[in-house]
A and B are shown apart, each in its own frame.
Chain A
Amino acid sequence: MEVEAAKMIGAGLAAIGLAGAGVGIGIIFGNYVSAGIRNPSAAPKMFGNALLGFALTEATGLFSLLIALIILFS
């Protein structure tokens, strides 16, 4: 197989890892909203934690995106 073609396939495979980050972010905000509906008075206090969880989850997905970019452009 040509190296260029293998690079493309490898980058595509590496980007699959982002699916996990998508699921994780969905779980975080889904749970935040459902908890906020149950107890609206506690919702503003937990928004910071929700954002923190979002950033931490997104970062794990970005690790795989980073691998994809490195494969593609180096």
Chain B
Amino acid sequence: MGLFISTAHAAEAGESPLHQFEIHSLIDISAGSTNLSFTNSSLWMVVVTLAIILLLAVGMRRGSMVPGRLQSIAELSYEFVANMVRDNAGDGGKPYFPFIFTLFMFILFANMQGLIPKTFTFTSHIIVTFAMAAVVFIGVTVIGIVKHRLRFLTLFVPAGLPIFLVPLLVPIELISYIIRPITLSVRLFANMMAGHTLLVVLSGFAVSLSGFFVLPALAPLAVTAAMYGLETIVAFLQAYVFAVLTCLYLHDALHLHDH
């Protein structure tokens, strides 16, 4: 997204601010009636994955005692996620570190890449975020059931609950458990989409104002620049929140209520 340049076009042509989220096919592939086209969304997923692999592979190639710039970034991100898993998932969370590291880096790079003008933010599509959230949800549930068998169901009964409150609270707990993938995915998707739409609308103000008054048009431009800073923070925070919540769900499945 971003697209200061195409934003100007959009404002002139009177296009909708949601135009930037359009998916178009780059290479048409179809299997039977299923559309498997390689789209701009898939292209940027490949780019993001390659960028992460490049960062980690080139950064850790030498593995010197005194890290250089690239190696520092690789080590910092590793340590950051390792601390997150240790603090939030508790004991027994370590085997799942690679998954959470992958998830965090993928979302972080996707969000950050989306802030570069002329690119495409695939995390602003609910299908992408929902797929990730569904993987987390199903995975965590399976881990809980395999580890605790039927005792896993005590997750839905808060500890020390009076018996007459059970019929009331268990459905509430059950519903709040089942909507987890929805809240997890909508949080990321809504943040990305609302933020990028806001940027386009704000910069559209600057474009349409500059036709009449040049000086006052600087005000919406300044606001846009400030929002860009906020969006950068949000891009990082949402990746962090997604990873932390995955850790917390994992903690629930691994330890149920006892710590």
Contacts and interface: CB of A to CB of B under 8 A. Distances in A.
Interface of A: 51-52, 54-56, 58-59, 62-63, 65-66, 69, 73-74
A51 B193 contact: no
Interface stretch (B61-69, B97-105, B160-168, B233-241): B233-241
22 contacts: A52-B241, A52-B244, A55-B187, A55-B241, A56-B187, A58-B234, A59-B186, A59-B187, A59-B190, A59-B191, A62-B190, A62-B191, A65-B190, A65-B194, A66-B186, A66-B190, A69-B18, A69-B193, A69-B194, A69-B197, A73-B17, A73-B18
Contacts of B190: 59, 62-63, 65-66
Given A51-B237, A52-B244, A63-B186, A58 B191 contact: yes
Given A73-B16, A73-B17, A73-B18, A62 B241 contact: no
Interface residues of B, number: 16
Nearest to B191: A62
B16 A62 contact: no
Residue with the highest number of chain B CB atoms closer than 10 Å, among A55, A63, A69, A74: A55
Contacts of B194: 62, 65-66, 69
A59 B16 CA distance: 23
Contacts of B186: 59, 63, 66
Given A56-B187, A59-B187, 6 more contacts: A55-B191, A62-B191, A65-B194, A66-B190, A66-B193, A73-B16
A62 B235 CA distance: 14
A56 B16 contact: no
Interface in B172-208: 186-187, 190-191, 193-194, 197
Contacts of A65: 190, 194
A51, A58, A74 pick with most chain B CB within 10 angstroms? A58
A55 B74 CA distance: 25
B130 to A, nearest CB: 14
- CB-CB nearest 5 A-B residue pairs: A59-B187, A62-B190, A55-B237, A55-B241, A66-B190
> Which secondary structure dominates where chain B touches chain A?
helix
Contacts of B238: 55
Contacts of B17: 73
A54 B187 CA distance: 12
A63 B197 CA distance: 14
A37 B160 CA distance: 36
Most buried by B among A56, A59, A69, A74: A59
Contacts of A63: 186, 190
Nearest to B17: A73
Residue of B186, B194, B238, B240 most packed against chain A (CB within 10 A):
B194
Interface string B222-259: 00000000000010011011001000000000000000
Contacts of B193: 66, 69
Interface string B8-49: 000000001110000000000000000000000000000000
A69 B189 CA distance: 13
